[in-house]
Amino acid sequence: MQRIYFQTPPSNTENVAKCYNTLDNGTPTPIGSVKTGDDGIGGPSGGIRTCVKDLLKLYSVFLASATDQFANGRTSTEGSPLKQVNHLMLAKIPMNQPTLRETSYGFGWALVQLPGTMGDIGCNPPLMQHGMPVLGKGGPSRLVIYHQGSLPGALAAVNLIPDTETAIVVLTNSLFLNDIPDWVGQLVLEELLEVPERNVYVKAAEASVAEAAKWYPATVGELQRARINDTSPRSLEDYAGTYWDEIHVFKIEVILEEGTLYWAFPGLESEKFQLDHYEHDVFTWIQTRNGLARRGRCVDQGAPFRQADFKVNDKGQIEKLMWVHDIGVSAVEYSKTINAAL
């Protein structure tokens, strides 16, 4: 492997893809490159920069090692640096149950016995109102192992066919209105397997784009319907300060500038967003989809993610900040430590 980096490549590196997000009308907007792993969090989960050529080398050895280790009951393969590959590919968590065939998640890899649906760890399933298309209809049952990745400015999909040691790798330099690498990877997979009854992935792409376009009006509508009207905030200075999570790893700066309240993750100017009063001590930071895309943000989180809920102590002073930082998780409590009013 000749082109692989665990941090942003040096500035003199040739042939490095630029990163883009996608606007509502489908046009790209340039954003900064992915910083995951640059002396911060996320390196092991998404910090590798590489190319299709090198990944095909990696997955060739990965599949050969898996075949050998499953067949011989070993945890290593001569000439391969990859250990315990068979454990990586074992089912650990059922997915999409109940199903007649295998659909599960291993250590980073999803497993599906075709015919079946794929893309379950990517961005497309929430965008498909009638469910993901069944891949492999009319053909023999085949095991496929796949993984997907998504960050602003980068989408990826890898599909592996263990019994033929075949790998399909799709890398892109944009966060699209849908998960294009997923659709392309499935299309190529059906071609390789010579599936008799094939899906029309252009229609799947069109349907998922149409659903993505509903995000902003749907989220604004949800906020408006749940809002308690005719409430007022306290003095904006009361909210300003530095808020830390319980283990003192992540902070949010709440800043008052010229009569407007902002919050910044984790105090970075590049991650500063205006807070607008919503109800009582709750503020929102929603922007149009295009505005967020231009700033390099993922745009798929619902109303809870877009709210900053301040809490008072028994003296009536703002002391806590509650924020639902991701889909499907509980709100994290941040404690106020420093007054940052300007």
Q: Where are the domains of the chain?
A: 19-212, 216-338
Task: Read off the DSSP letter of residue 303.
Answer: G
Rounded mean pLDDT, 316-339: 91
The b/e string for 214-228 (b: 16+ C-beta within 10 A; e otherwise) is ebbeebeeebeeeee
pLDDT for 342: 41
Q: Give CA torsion, residues 261, 39, 297, 253, to 10 deg.
A: -10
Per the CB < 8 A criterion, the answer to whether 211 and 128 are in contact is yes
pLDDT digits (tens, 9 = 90+) for 100-120: 898 999 988 999 999 999 999
Looking up tokens 């263990």 gives 162
Rounded mean pLDDT, 257-278: 96
Q: Which CATH architecture has domain 216-338?
A: Beta Barrel (2.40)
- How confident is residue 4, by pLDDT bands cut at 50, 70 and 90? confident
Q: Bridge-partner residues for 155, per DSSP? A: 150, 172
- How confident is residue 37, by pLDDT bands cut at 50, 70 and 90? confident
pLDDT digits (tens, 9 = 90+) for 120-148: 999 999 999 999 999 999 999 999 999 99
Quick check: 151 pLDDT over 80?
yes
Percent of the chain beyond pLDDT 90?
Answer: 80
Enumerate residues 6+ apart whose C-beta is below 8 A from 5: 13, 48, 49, 50
